Structure 1
Amino acid sequence: MSIELPRTAVALGITDPVEKARAELKAALAAIEEKANVPRRVELARERAVVQARRFAQQQPVQAAAAAVGVALAVGTVVWGLVRLYTR
């Protein structure tokens, strides 16, 4: 049975110093890539928010509907205010 390690982890039991250094470098580069990949991190955060919103809507549909109406009113008010400022 083999456990798959994350890309940013170094496998235990590597005895060869060169192989260990390569594994550590590979893990460090993967960690830097994950940390610096802002679009991917934003996408993951968006996916988590969508899952949470759907779960909330399934568990509490009335509150979810009220929240949607509130957000729509807020956006509409902001757009109305901006258009009004622009047209004056």
Structure 2
Amino acid sequence: MSRSDSALPRTAVPAGITDPVASARAELKAALAAIEIKGNVPRRLEKASQRGVAKVRVFAESNPAGAMAAVVGVAAVAGGLVWAIARAIAR
């Protein structure tokens, strides 16, 4: 790969292609890359979860008291949901 190719995203078609066959190949390659990126749900979920974890770590480092309050709140909500489900099943 040349230096100019690495600047373009995989889903972009390079400008200046005059050969119709090469242009069609470049468009097909870009379309297939876009479909792969959009259709690869597990990879998208993994990247989203990694971004979320990074944001939580930054928040916890900058505001430890707020992070503890958030953890307690999430635990209370989870406990409440478990209690509500168990109570509904017991009835």
Answering whether residue 38 of structure 2 is matched by residue 32 of structure 1, we say no
Q: 1: distance between equivalents of 2:3 and 2:14?
A: 12
2:52 alignment counterpart: 49
1:84 alignment counterpart: 87
4+ residue segments displaced more than 3 Å: none
Q: CA RMSD, aligned part only? A: 1.4
TM-score (norm 1): 0.90
Answering whether residue 29 of structure 2 is matched by residue 2 of structure 1, we say no
Q: 2: distance between equivalents of 1:2 and 1:34?
A: 23
**Structure 2 unaligned residues grouped into runs of 5+:** none
Answering whether residue 60 of structure 2 is matched by residue 68 of structure 1, we say no
How far the C-alpha of 1:15 sits from its partner, in A, is: 2.2
Tell me the SS of whatever aligns to 1:25. Answer: helix
Letter in 2 for 1:15: T
Q: 1: distance between equivalents of 2:3 and 2:33?
A: 21
Identity of aligned residues (%): 58
**Structure 1 unaligned residues grouped into runs of 5+:** none
How far the C-alpha of 1:48 sits from its partner, in A, is: 0.9
TM-score (norm 2): 0.87
